[in-house]
Amino acid sequence: MVQNLIKKIIHLIPYNGIGGVEIAARSLSTGSHGELDLERNFLVRNPNSTIKAGEYHGPMISVNNPHAYWHAFWRLLRKPPDLLVASLWRSALVLILLKMARPKQKTILFLHAAHDMHWLDFIVKQIAMRLADGIWADSTTTLNHSVSPNLQHKGQVISFLLESYSLPEISEPTPEFIFWGRLSPLKGLERALSIFSEISRLAPDAHFKIIGPNGGVKNNLKARAKQLGIAENVSFISAKSQADIHTIASSASFYLQTSIYEGMAMSVVEAMQIGLVPIVTPVGEIARYCVDGRNAVWVQEDATAVDTVIGLLSDTEKYKRVSYAAAEYWQGKPLYRDDFLAAATKFIEGSADDM
């Protein structure tokens, strides 16, 4: 009798949105990958999303509805995969239920932020980390901040680099600034607007494009821009595809993001890859790959950051060195899809050896 060597992996995510978790997940195609077969599952169906081959979307209900979790649990219980990878605390709830019902079920909890969003996030992840057979993290910072020393042996960092890019042609600096991502309080965009207002006072033709869906603060940001007298210099653009974002970003020189908390900060990585100089708060993993004065401008004292940016605008050669260093940093780094599959293969093979 020939043994079936194909191992089924299900990556469970709350819903099909446009956040970093979903974008990264979609960069890895579903279906066959050698001896692995990957299926992507979502707890609920987003009415605006299309169901693609190799995906399963739960019922079209609120992600807060308990039925979504029971539905996912019973589906996985009836047809369990060889490995369940659960991203974010909502999916971790299903991991907990499944592990309680099937203690031998192999599971991975995938962490995507160095800080907890709220008390329920903290509690669910703490329980899931203890029950899970492995813990993946989007960065070293997330792993070290979220996982206690006695559970570190379960941990592994998965690269969140989604694409490889050739080194860009470095252009002369212009006072064009850009941000893309969800407009949420954690992105600290009011501080970014304050910094930009000081830059525009010294460079009146400066412009700041803010791209992304409203995460609850868009109206406040528009009001703040008006209060600062820079409404004409700031454009708010709705969510765009990555291709459209890169097209818009091709005319920019700086990426401005003053996050309060971060994990990997994928948009910062993407901006660096295309040669934008990041102006960032050194939080989360950003502090590891952005080096102040070498490939980035750190925002610690706002006035200092403003002076540094104005200096780069007036010194073309220095700007080009920093821009090149930003893009060059990511050359040759492993990609998410390769790391995910390699880690899953290693885990499954290790689990088989333990049996």
Burial class (CB in 10 A: 0-12, 13-18, 19+), 77: middle
**N-to-C CA span, the chain:** 20
Judge whether residue 352 has pLDDT over 60: no
Tokens of 187: 């992105």
Which residues lie below 8 Å from residue 131, measured CB to CB, with a gap of 6+?
95, 96, 99, 100, 107
Integer-rounded Cα Rg, in Å, for the chain is: 22
Neighbours of 334 (CB within 10 A): 12
Instruction: Report d(CA 66, CA 310) in Å as an integer.
Output: 52
Residue with more model confidence, 170 or 351: 170
Could you report the per-residue pLDDT of 211-242, keeping only the tens digit for each? Answer: 999 989 999 999 999 999 999 999 999 999 88
pLDDT at 20: 84
Tokens of 46: 């987003």
Q: Which of 74-78, 161-165, 303-307 is predicted least confidently? A: 161-165
pLDDT at 113: 85
The answer to whether 183 and 355 are in contact (CB under 8 A) is no
User: Which single residue is written with the structure tokens 């329980």?
Assistant: 127
pLDDT at 4: 55
Averaged pLDDT of the chain: 94
Instruction: Report d(CA 137, CA 121) in Å as an integer.
Output: 15
User: Which single residue is written with the structure tokens 């993993």?
Assistant: 285
Say what the pTM is: 0.87
Neighbours of 44 (CB within 10 A): 23
H-helix or E-strand spanning residue 263:
none
pLDDT at 257: 98
Spatial strand order in the sheet of 207-211? 234-237, 207-211, 176-180, 254-257, 277-280, 297-298
Nearest Cα neighbor of 50 from 63, 35, 64, 40 is: 40
Please give the biggest Cα pair distance in the chain. Answer: 76
Question: Which residues, listed in sequence order, are joined to residue 107 by a DSSP beta bridge?
Answer: 84
Find the mean pLDDT for residues 258-268.
91
150 to 66, 144, 153: CA distances (angstroms): 32, 12, 7
User: Is residue 211 helix, strand or coil?
Assistant: strand
Instruction: Report d(CA 83, CA 184) in Å as an integer.
Output: 33
pLDDT at 116: 86
Find the mean pLDDT for residues 251-265.
93
pLDDT at 1: 37
Could you report the per-residue pLDDT of 103-149, keeping only the tens digit for each? Answer: 999 999 999 988 888 999 999 999 999 999 999 999 999 999 999 99
Could you report the per-residue pLDDT of 35-61, keeping only the tens digit for each? Answer: 999 999 999 998 888 889 999 999 999
Could you report the per-residue pLDDT of 136-188, keeping only the tens digit for each? Answer: 999 999 999 999 999 999 999 999 999 999 999 999 999 999 999 999 999 99
Identity of the residue numbered 10: I
Domains in the chain, CATH or no CATH each = 7-160+334-354 (3.40.50.2000), 176-328 (3.40.50.2000)
pLDDT at 258: 97
